[in-house]
A and B are shown apart, each in its own frame.
Chain A
Amino acid sequence: MRLVESGRARITALLVAFTLLFGVVAVRLVHLQVLSGDELARDALEQRLVDRTIPAARGTIFDRNGRDLALDVPREFVFVDPSMVRDEYRSEYARRLAPVLGIDAIDLYEDLGAATTPAGKPLRFRYLSRTPLTDRQVRQLDVLGLPGVATVTEPDRDYPGDDLAAPILGAVQREQYGLKGLAGLEKVYDDELTGTPGRVVYERDREGREIPHTRRERTPAVRGNDLILTIDSSLQNQVEQTLVDQVAAQQARRGIAIVIDVHTGDVLAMATAHGADADGPARPADAEDRNRAVTDVFEPGSTNKIITVASAMDAACVAPESVFDVPGRMANGDAFVSDDHVHGLERWNTRTIISESSNVGTAMIAKQCFDASGMDAALRNFGYGSTSGVGLPDEEDGILKPPDEYYSTGLATASFGYGMAATPMQVLDVYTTIANGGRSVQPRIVRATVDDERGRRELEIAPGRQVVTEPTATAMADMLIGVVATGTAPCASVRGYEVAGKTGTARKVGADGRYLEGVNVASFVGFAPARAPRLAAIVVLDEPAGRYGGTTAAPVFAEIMQFALRQERVVPTAASTAPAQWDAAAAIARERGNDCSVPHGDEIDQILADRAERARAAELAAAAAADPELDPADGDPSNAADTVAGTDPPDE
């Protein structure tokens, strides 16, 4: 009987226990499924759900011949999901990742820390490095297998030519969903180049793989549009290398060169070179530099004289054969205007005034034909005071004084390019206008855009306008041929072609506002073939040792123009005229002792060594002159007469 009662009690107890147990389970189930069900389901989905933005590939930038100048290449980048990195393991993560990524462990430690998004949710994605990973680094990360650290494939910008045309192309920076233009054309055409990011939503398993048949949206990314430039990469490379070599040989601070098609306004090459400095030897500008061909202004000096003369001729004030009695020095208000080379009173016509680059003669023409307003109008008529519209960022419009601030000296000085400032692009535009029969040409550097839907679209350019009459332009071209054949720029002559152009040598202004002696900006700007122009170019050297445009910038012009004419398949000028200019120029250059070549390779080192030797000899000679007891044993006294800065005789 007792046994039966005991059994019943146990059964009852067990029943109660099970009832309680199932009760608890039931309560928990109700809590999970009913009370917290929605929230937990949401959390679970959030853990599985991946909502990813697909970065759109950026458009490619091509040169005029279809060569890639800038293109996107998918590369691996490392990121971390900070919510998966437990705080006690952060230092260990940092210690292991540092040698693989080449990043300081302390920086990594910071980046691995948890954070929240602006919406208050845990941050799930943070780049550990913005530098693309190498294949080796990807393998090393795989081996480490750190939870929460993974790689993602994203487009990266590649410039196959390295620094080729770098200031033109500009640069990009990585943003959360792709690349953004930071400078140059990458910045100006950022909207064109940038595509439309896509989006993908899916559920993933613990391995990160997509779970089949789960909720999913997929909007593919749309690639950005391509740009086709007017730049010829071969010519661009040639211009950069020639410019760098001359900047190095001339120990200039920097150099700028542009080559343009005079009929279409296509900029074929645009280069900036930096001279040797603390950062290294002479070199092409890189993507971090501004494009000085359109952002930096300089006093153009004598290259400005054709504006004065062409405007005077167009106003029927002077003719090419008009004669002036030109002194070597002339009063100008409370100052003087003088020519660079000393001469007495000369009876020169307009043609000779240009070929001899006479400041006095040009000032006489300006005073005869214009007042201050007229001079200002002439300068603006040729495009000074406004940007060229080439389509590059941060373009300057130059500096022009208001006519009422010319005072007694401004008219004369403006006539030969002082008291004002222009960019190299603006100066080249003036010569392009002359080469194009007096009609201005809108320069451009982007020829077309290409997109998948509409195909290739040529960019419209503003129509040109007649700046001076065609006869005036032809007469000016004829004068400029003389500048190269018998004037100040024999070194600009190009074998096989006839060249028209003008030298410019402008003294630089010091910190005290006064012009510095022997510190110049030397330039040459011209076009070829002179009687049927196809290409125009400008070369500007800042503080070259040789000082003068005719001996420092003109040889660079000749070398790049020779290359450009051949590159563009321009038929050589008829044999009856081209050799005549070449022969005449060669004879004058020999007479003046000008080498007229741009040194390359070892020649540059030899020139620099010779110049240093001469400078040392000059110093010793000067010291010996100051102290008669000092023996200049190490120097050659015959070199002591040479100037320190340069050895080329003044030619303009």
Chain B
Amino acid sequence: MTDLRAERRPTIDGRTGVRGGAMTRGAAALAFAPAPTDPAQSAPATFPDRPARPPRRHLDVAPNPHRGSRLARFLVAVGIAATVVCLFVIVAANVVMAQQSYELDRVRAQQQDAQRSNAELRSEVARLSSPSRIVTEAERLGMIPATDFGFVQSTGAHDAPVNGDAVAETLRDTAEATRAADDSTP
């Protein structure tokens, strides 16, 4: 007959007893009754000379140490990978932002150039259309100020139909007035 209790294995820390008789965790754990304190009751009657057994110890099955180590390694690996990725993203973002910043600088410079060009063109338009320049240019082309002119005045109300005769009469009057004025030019 094999006493299962004799096969107890020491725990991982070398102790063989159990603390307070608590139940161990896990499906493989076995519950043992607390060791009896009276040697007479526990000693077999057929082997009187046999020395008394040491008090039975309560043992637990120790958890697998390799199991936690793998998780930690996994977590560390994930952390490192995440850090690397983050660093990469940050660096990449910085690079992109730097590029964008220089691009922004370039666009700003273009904007300034365009604004300057616009202002210069506007100034040029103003210069070309200034009365003094137009007069000078006209004179260069051989034009002279008009010395003879007349006036055409409307004779009717605004809603009156334009009468050909009235227009002709007005023009005739104006022409006569102009001729008279020419004759009497001071």
Q: Do chains A and B interact in one complex?
A: yes
Point out residues on A near B: beta carbons under 8 Å.
67-68, 71-75, 153, 158, 160-162, 164, 209-210, 212-213, 233-234, 236-238, 241, 490-491, 493, 495-496, 571-572, 575, 579, 582-583, 585-590, 594-596, 600
A238-B131, A571-B153, A596-B186 in contact; A583/B180 too (CB < 8 A)? yes
B35 CB within 8 Å of chain A: no
B62-105 CB contacts (< 8 Å) to partner A: 94, 97-98, 100-102, 105
Indicate if the CB atoms of B122 and A68 lie closer than 8 Å: yes
Indicate if the CB atoms of B181 and A582 lie closer than 8 Å: yes
A153-B116, A575-B173, A575-B177 in contact; A212/B98 too (CB < 8 A)? yes
A496-B151, A575-B173, A589-B186 in contact; A153/B123 too (CB < 8 A)? no
A577 to chain B, nearest CB (A): 12
Q: How many A-B residue pairs have CB under 8 A?
A: 92
Indicate if the CB atoms of A161 and B153 lie closer than 8 Å: no
Indicate if the CB atoms of A73 and B130 lie closer than 8 Å: no
Tell which of B105, B116, B119, B186 touches A585, judged by Cβ atoms closer than 8 Å: B186
A68-B122, A212-B97 in contact; A495/B181 too (CB < 8 A)? yes
Bound together, the chains give a CA A283 to CA B100 distance in angstroms of 56
* Smallest Cβ-Cβ distance to B124: which chain A residue: A160
- Please indicate the chain B residues that have their CB under 8 angstroms from the CB of A162 in the complex: 130, 132
A360 to chain B, nearest CB (A): 28
Count contacts on B: residues with CB < 8 A to the other chain.
31
B110 CB within 8 Å of chain A: no
Residue of A212, A213, A579, A595 ringed by the most chain B CB atoms within 10 A: A212
Indicate if the CB atoms of A160 and B127 lie closer than 8 Å: yes
Indicate if the CB atoms of B119 and A73 lie closer than 8 Å: yes
B107 CB within 8 Å of chain A: no
A651 to chain B, nearest CB (A): 13
- Please indicate the chain A residues that have their CB under 8 angstroms from the CB of B101 in the complex: 210, 212-213
27 contacts between A and B (CB under 8 A): A67-B126, A71-B119, A71-B123, A74-B115, A74-B116, A158-B123, A160-B123, A160-B126, A161-B130, A209-B105, A212-B98, A212-B101, A212-B102, A233-B130, A233-B131, A236-B131, A237-B130, A241-B132, A241-B135, A490-B186, A495-B181, A579-B180, A583-B184, A586-B181, A586-B186, A590-B184, A600-B145
- Please indicate the chain A residues that have their CB under 8 angstroms from the CB of B180 in the complex: 579, 583
B37 CB within 8 Å of chain A: no
- Please indicate the chain A residues that have their CB under 8 angstroms from the CB of B100 in the complex: 212
B42 CB within 8 Å of chain A: no
- Please indicate the chain A residues that have their CB under 8 angstroms from the CB of B115 in the complex: 74
Q: Which 6 A-B pairs have the closest CB atoms?
A: A589-B186, A160-B126, A212-B101, A237-B131, A68-B126, A586-B186
- Please indicate the chain B residues that have their CB under 8 angstroms from the CB of A571 in the complex: 153
Point out residues on B near A: beta carbons under 8 Å.
94, 97-98, 100-102, 105, 112, 115-116, 119-120, 122-123, 126-127, 129-132, 135, 145, 151, 153, 173, 177, 180-181, 184-186
- Please indicate the chain B residues that have their CB under 8 angstroms from the CB of A495 in the complex: 181
* Smallest Cβ-Cβ distance to B106: which chain A residue: A209
- Please indicate the chain A residues that have their CB under 8 angstroms from the CB of B94 in the complex: 213
Bound together, the chains give a CA A115 to CA B65 distance in angstroms of 76
Bound together, the chains give a CA A623 to CA B153 distance in angstroms of 60
Tell which of B112, B122, B131, B151 touches A161, judged by Cβ atoms closer than 8 Å: B131
Residue of A210, A236, A495, A595 ringed by the most chain B CB atoms within 10 A: A495
A74-B116, A212-B98, A594-B186 in contact; A237/B105 too (CB < 8 A)? no
* Smallest Cβ-Cβ distance to B184: which chain A residue: A586
Residue of B101, B102, B184 ringed by the most chain A CB atoms within 10 A: B184
Indicate if the CB atoms of A164 and B132 lie closer than 8 Å: yes
Bound together, the chains give a CA A160 to CA B120 distance in angstroms of 11
Bound together, the chains give a CA A595 to CA B186 distance in angstroms of 6
A490-B186, A589-B186 in contact; A164/B123 too (CB < 8 A)? no
A559 to chain B, nearest CB (A): 10
A328 to chain B, nearest CB (A): 27
Indicate if the CB atoms of A237 and B132 lie closer than 8 Å: yes
- Please indicate the chain A residues that have their CB under 8 angstroms from the CB of B127 in the complex: 160-161
A552 to chain B, nearest CB (A): 15
- Please indicate the chain B residues that have their CB under 8 angstroms from the CB of A582 in the complex: 181, 184
Indicate if the CB atoms of A73 and B123 lie closer than 8 Å: yes
- Please indicate the chain B residues that have their CB under 8 angstroms from the CB of A600 in the complex: 145
Indicate if the CB atoms of B129 and A67 lie closer than 8 Å: yes
Indicate if the CB atoms of A73 and B120 lie closer than 8 Å: yes
Bound together, the chains give a CA A579 to CA B130 distance in angstroms of 34
- Please indicate the chain A residues that have their CB under 8 angstroms from the CB of B97 in the complex: 212-213
A153 to chain B, nearest CB (A): 6
* Smallest Cβ-Cβ distance to B98: which chain A residue: A212
Residue of B101, B131, B151, B181 ringed by the most chain A CB atoms within 10 A: B131
A579-B181, A582-B181, A582-B184 in contact; A160/B130 too (CB < 8 A)? yes
- Please indicate the chain A residues that have their CB under 8 angstroms from the CB of B173 in the complex: 575
- Please indicate the chain B residues that have their CB under 8 angstroms from the CB of A161 in the complex: 126-127, 130-132
Tell which of A234, A585, A595, A596 touches B131, judged by Cβ atoms closer than 8 Å: A234
Residue of A72, A213, A490, A496 ringed by the most chain B CB atoms within 10 A: A496
Bound together, the chains give a CA A362 to CA B154 distance in angstroms of 43
A74-B116, A213-B97 in contact; A491/B186 too (CB < 8 A)? yes
- Please indicate the chain B residues that have their CB under 8 angstroms from the CB of A74 in the complex: 112, 115-116, 119
* Smallest Cβ-Cβ distance to B170: which chain A residue: A575
Given contacts A71-B123, A72-B119, A73-B119, list 9 more A-B pairs with CB under 8 A: A74-B115, A75-B116, A209-B105, A212-B102, A213-B97, A233-B130, A233-B131, A493-B186, A586-B184
Indicate if the CB atoms of B131 and A586 lie closer than 8 Å: no
B129 to chain A, nearest CB (A): 7
- Please indicate the chain B residues that have their CB under 8 angstroms from the CB of A496 in the complex: 151
- Please indicate the chain A residues that have their CB under 8 angstroms from the CB of B135 in the complex: 237, 241
A598 to chain B, nearest CB (A): 11
A210-B101, A212-B98 in contact; A71/B126 too (CB < 8 A)? yes
B144 to chain A, nearest CB (A): 9
* Smallest Cβ-Cβ distance to A572: which chain B residue: B151
A170 to chain B, nearest CB (A): 18
* Smallest Cβ-Cβ distance to B154: which chain A residue: A571
- Please indicate the chain B residues that have their CB under 8 angstroms from the CB of A164 in the complex: 130-132
